[in-house]
Amino acid sequence: MSDRLRIILIFLVIGADLYTFRQIRRGKMNLNHSLLWILGSLVLLLAAVFPGTIYWLSEKIGIELPINMVFLSFSFFAIIFFVYLTRVISREDWVNRRLTQQVALLEKRVRELEGRLPENSRPGPSSTER
Amino acid sequence: MKKLIIIPAYNEEGNIHRTLEDLNTEYPQADVLVINDCSGDRTLQILKNDESKYIDLPVNLGIGGAVQAGYLYARQNDYDIAVQLDGDGQHRADCLQALIQPLLEEKADMVIGSRFLPGNDQDGFQSTAARRSGIRLLSFLIKVVTGKRIYDVTSGFRAVNRELLDYYADHYAQDYPEPEAIVMAVHNGFRVTEVPVIMNERAEGKSSIRALSSLYYMVKVSLAILVTGIHMRRRGRRNE
């Protein structure tokens, strides 16, 4: 791994982490959902600062070019992250579905209750806005 | 015995009125609840004009989510039997009594209205040859996974009792849910049975399963049957 690549990596990681932290502070990202990103970037940072770990590991595993070790581990990490995201989405999907169903059921109750009121005392529009 | 008929409707302006009228004359002893799955056509207007009972989903959930909303309603309002019936006029109200009979006799927890039962004189709409072979394949898969032979696995004409509607309110398959829902029921120890019914060809509009998506349908549903089957079997063993 060339020194130039190491420096680029270090800057990239620091930049990405700064961005992530700012998003978290602004409330645009969730800390628990970004934790995996931050952990992954820290591992990359360690590898860039101490390239010896990469050389040692790639020799143990049998990868000739140490940089390929970096690529390989990053694709592993990306796959893990995608699977994790799929889990998050699936849960959100269920939550949204249940909320939609509940809202529709409540809308029916409100509609029917309002229908029982005398004409002049009905509050607001009789159906919910989309 | 409180009975609820759940009708999922997505863009059924051409059929829904007739379906409701048919139910009203043939089977007035049940409540009818239409689930308007965010239709883009005049379905909602028709429901309002007919003064029918309906719920109006604020976003499109697809057939699985829509039907599940019906089961949730059935649970919240203490229904003993919930019947699922398509809004497109394929399912006939005069078959309803036969459909729920096994539930009333407590011989089953779920009854599927079937076009393909052996001994059924194959009257009425039998679908195309391609679809029938797809259905046969899914039926075979379900037999392998659950050990139970169900012939018309994609039939959306089905009735469940209180225990199963309670379960479906929380666990229902999404995206072409019919075959998967059978597997879930069998694996949770519910008794599933079929009765012969006659179906009409859908009067207007299009089926939700079109030629292009039929490959996706087969792959998705086959996979779902296998995954649900394996998952449930494991869980079943653990519980023993």
Instruction: Please count the other Cβ atoms lying within 10 Å of the Cβ belonging to residue B32.
Output: 21
- B35's enclosing H/E stretch is strand B31-36
DSSP string, A14-30: HHHHHHHHHHHHTTSS-
CA distance A74 to chain B (A): 30
Region B98-124: what's the mean pLDDT?
85
Cα–Cα distances (Å) from A17 to A30, A47, A53, B206, in that order, read 14, 16, 22, 51
Instruction: Answer whether residue B106 shows pLDDT above 90.
Output: yes
**How confident is residue B240, by pLDDT bands cut at 50, 70 and 90?**
very low
Task: Return the residue of A nearest to B66 by Cα.
Answer: A101
Instruction: Answer whether residue B1 shows pLDDT above 50.
Output: yes
> For residue B199, what are the contacts with CB-CB under 8 A and spacing of at least 6?
B90, B91, B92, B113, B115, B124, B125, B157
CA distance B45 to chain A (A): 12
pTM over 0.90: no
Residue-wise pLDDT for B205-218, tens only, equals 666 656 667 777 88
* CA A38 – CA A13 distance, rounded (Å): 9
User: Is residue B171 within 8 Å of B121, Cβ to Cβ?
Assistant: no
Q: Do B61 and A100 touch (CB under 8 A)?
A: yes
N residues, chain A:
130
Nearest residue to A47 (alpha-carbon basis) of A32, A58, A61, A35: A58
* Region for residue B124 given its phi and psi (left: phi exceeds 0; alpha: psi -120 to 50; beta: otherwise): left
* CA B237 – CA B240 distance, rounded (Å): 5
**How confident is residue B239, by pLDDT bands cut at 50, 70 and 90?**
very low
Which amino acid would we find at residue A116?
R
Q: Which residues pair with B36 in a beta bridge?
A: B9, B56
* B138: helix, strand or coil: helix
DSSP string, chain A: --HHHHHHHHHHHHHHHHHHHHHHHTTSS-HHHHHHHHHHHHHHHHHHH-HHHHHHHHHHHT-SSHHHHHHHHHHHHHHHHHHHHHHHHHHHHHHHHHHHHHHHHHHHHHHHHHHHS-GGG--S-SS---
Q: Which residues pair with B25 in a beta bridge?
A: none
CA distance A98 to chain B (A): 8
Q: Do B57 and A97 touch (CB under 8 A)?
A: no
pLDDT in the model for residue B219: 82
Taking only residues 33 to 72 of chain B, the set having a beta carbon closer than 8 angstroms to any beta carbon of chain A reads 35, 53-59, 61, 65, 68-69, 72
Radius of gyration of chain A measured on its C-alpha atoms: 26
Region B191-217: what's the mean pLDDT?
76
**How confident is residue A126, by pLDDT bands cut at 50, 70 and 90?**
low
